[in-house]
């Protein structure tokens, strides 16, 4: 009878240790941080004018690329930069500009000076 008790205790010990040294305590694989790379410049970019904002506010295109703005707001806006400008755009109208020189081009709306955007040409 005593031998059976010892075997019983041994089985119990094995079961308990089996529970604690399971996969939970195995070393976790190191999490690799996500690699954040900016989107490559494209030949064409689209900017929407919605709710007094240019969206996205910043786009990057290649030299010779074209940006097209789509006016979706109920109020008229312009797309005006240092050497380019649309006329007053009403809802549903678009304006495109081709950028042939590399650089950074800030632009805005002449009616609402707080509306600003940026085109980067690479």
Binding site for Cu ion (CB under 5 A): 77, 109, 111-112, 115
With respect to Cu ion, which residue has the nearer C-beta, 65 or 117? 117
Around Cβ 93, how many Cβ atoms within 10 Å?
Answer: 16
Planar angle of CA 85, 118, 75, nearest 5 degrees: 55
User: Residue 62 or residue 111: which is nearer to Cu ion going by CB?
Assistant: 111
The CB-of-49 to Cu ion minimum distance in angstroms stands at 8
Total Cβ atoms within 10 A of residue 63: 14
Q: Which is nearer to Cu ion, 59 or 79 (CB)?
A: 79
Task: Tell me whether strands 53-55 and 80-81 are parallel, antiparallel or unpaired.
Answer: unpaired
Nearer to Cu ion, 17 or 91 (CB): 91
CB 72 to Cu ion: min, Å:
12
Q: How far is the CB of 114 from Cu ion (least distance, A)?
A: 9
Q: What is the DSSP letter of 88?
A: P
Least CB distance from residue 89 to Cu ion, whole Å? 9
CB 31 within 8 A of CB 53: no
């Amino acid at each position: 009878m005593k031998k059976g008790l010892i075997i019983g205790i041994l089985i119990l010990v094995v079961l308990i240790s089996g529970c604690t040294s399971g996969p939970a305590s195995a070393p976790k694989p190191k999490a690799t941080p996500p690699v954040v790379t900016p989107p490559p410049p494209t030949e064409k970019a689209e900017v929407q004018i919605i709710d007094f904002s240019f969206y996205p506010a910043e786009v990057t295109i290649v030299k010779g690329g074209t940006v097209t703005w789509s006016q979706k707001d109920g109020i008229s806006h312009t797309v005006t930069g240092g050497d380019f400008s649309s006329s007053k755009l009403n809802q549903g109208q678009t304006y495109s500009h081709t950028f042939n020189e590399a650089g950074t081009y800030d632009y805005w709306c002449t009616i609402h000076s707080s509306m600003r955007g940026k085109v980067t040409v690479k």
